[in-house]
Structure 1
Amino acid sequence: MKKRPYLLLLLLFLSFGLFHSFSSYAQVSPNLGTTSAMLEKASSAMDNGDFKKANGIFRDIIESNQPIPPEMPYLFSKTLFELGQYHNAQSFVNKYLDLNGFKGSYYKQAKALQAELAHPLEEIASCEYCDARGYRYGTCTTCHGEGKSEQSCSLCRGRGVIGCSRCAGDGLVTKKNVFNIVEYFECERCSGKGRLTCTSCHGTLVETDFCPVCEGSGHILTEELCDHTVPEK
């Protein structure tokens, strides 16, 4: 019987390929047990009324880049609702219903949560003291709420003077006489200096413009959830 070394090599190659594929799958396959265990801890924290702890665990699950359990968006939205983060709660409960539909284990609870969110979201939309997410505005510390601030003049760049546009900064202008000969005259606009007092800051070196921090609104965002009452001055 003749030996067929090429068959042996082929078998070895196939065996190595299958082993390598299995090893690669084992390395990249998602660790479902990790997220399930974390979800149980978050649910336990919710049962104990510790929604801040649950919030932290849910965020850890998201940042872990592991597969998210299908029921987590609802549980997270409920946690956010209890913490007063109504805008984020709406996003996650809507996501839960989009993913699971009426077949989801928390379908009825999710629909009830949507109804509960309607009123606080209306309050946020009509409130002038917070942004669309419900976070209260704070007074801008740069312009002190005025929306404008003094800045280095953008036209003269803080020099107080600009070049004369009539003589291009030379201090002289040219004219042709009746004999078509070019003659030089002192620029009347700048009196031969070639420079003019800045027309924007008038030599003060600064100009008043929209505050670069709050962009003229007079307020900045804070991490404080708004209670929709007039802020104390």
Structure 2
Amino acid sequence: MNSLISKIQLLLFAALFSAVSLAEAQVNLGQTDRWMKGALAAMERKDYQTANSIFRNLIESGLPLPDEMPYYFSETLFELGQYDNSSNFLNKYLELTGFKGENYEGAKDLQARLKAPLAAIESCELCDRRGYRYQTCFTCDGSKQIEQTCNYCKSKGIVGCSRCAASGMIKKVNVFNIVEFFECERCSGKGRLTCPECAGSGKEVSDCKTCSGSGKITSDSICDHKPHVHEGESVK
């Protein structure tokens, strides 16, 4: 009897758990559906910035994503000039759905439209491979290198001679056990040497770490592939 009751309780618990899980799934799908409708409505009125924000919120939410979502997101990114990102999401859409996707024809059309802007990015020297325009590095101001105080000589430009302990003289004991002093050949008796790190300048020059010695960093502006001068950028 007790065994039968336990089985009934277990079945009831399983049924309750399934019902709760189903309800949660329906809530999640409902939220996903609302966001998708909002994004598509924004695209319809050509408000691609809003559509972009909604799609990104949907991605970051961890909710189930509709199969067609990557296609619509790639269209949105294309309209915003984010061609590299658009291509990435479009490729993911085609990878996931293949020719069976509802928007397969639209995806192939977008793929064709992406060829020209992607080629322009590839050949442009004013932007990175994602299409974001370069700007002058704010750390080195485009010089590619940073000048700082030499740590080796503490900006003095000279260091003590290690062979003679900065005395300028070398002490030797001859065969008669007599101590003799000779001028240090390494430092010519001066007891000091030009700093080998900064060559006596007291300054140390190294590649700028911010831009890795290139003199430029990527901005958050989409490149138009046209030379122009504005704050923080100079045409080379």
Gapped runs of 5+ residues in structure 2?
A: none
Alpha carbons of structure 1 residues 168 and 115: separation in structure 2 relative to 1, 3 Å:
farther
TM-score, with structure 2 as normaliser: 0.82
Residue 117, structure 1, aligned to residue 114, structure 2 = yes
RMSD: 2.9
In structure 2, the partner of 1:63 is 60
| Pairing of 1:45-194 with structure 2 (within 5 A) | 45-158=42-155, 160-167=157-164, 173-179=170-176, 181=177, 183=179, 185=181, 188=184, 189-190=186-187
Query: Aligned equivalents of 1:27 and 1:168: distance in 2?
Result: 82
Q: Does structure 1 residue 7 correspond to structure 2 residue 10? A: no
1:32 shift after superposition: 1.4
Q: Which runs of 5+ in 1 are unaligned?
A: none
Query: Alignment partner for residue 223 of structure 2, among 208, 222, 226?
Result: 226
Deviations 1:61-112 (A, max 9, x none): 0110111111000000000000100000000000000000000000000011
Deviates more, 1:76-85 or 1:187-196: 187-196
Amino acid in the other structure paired with 1:43: L
Report whether the alignment pairs 1:214 with 2:203: no
Amino acid at match of 2:107: A
Distance 1:62 1:176, change over 3 A: same
Closer, same or farther in 2 for the Cα pair 1:41/1:171, shift >3 Å? same
Deviates more, 1:50-59 or 1:148-157: 148-157
Shift of 1:199: 2.4
Structure 1 residues 71 and 169: CA distance shift in structure 2, 3 A = farther
Contact 1:174-1:182 at 8 Å conserved across structures: no
Deviation sequence 1:142-182 (CA, Å, 0-9, x none) = 22212122122243354544343424667664545235x58
* TM-score, structure 1 as length reference: 0.83
Identity of aligned residues (%): 48
Q: How far apart, in 1, do the equivalents of 2:115 and 2:135 lie?
A: 26
Number of residue equivalences: 228
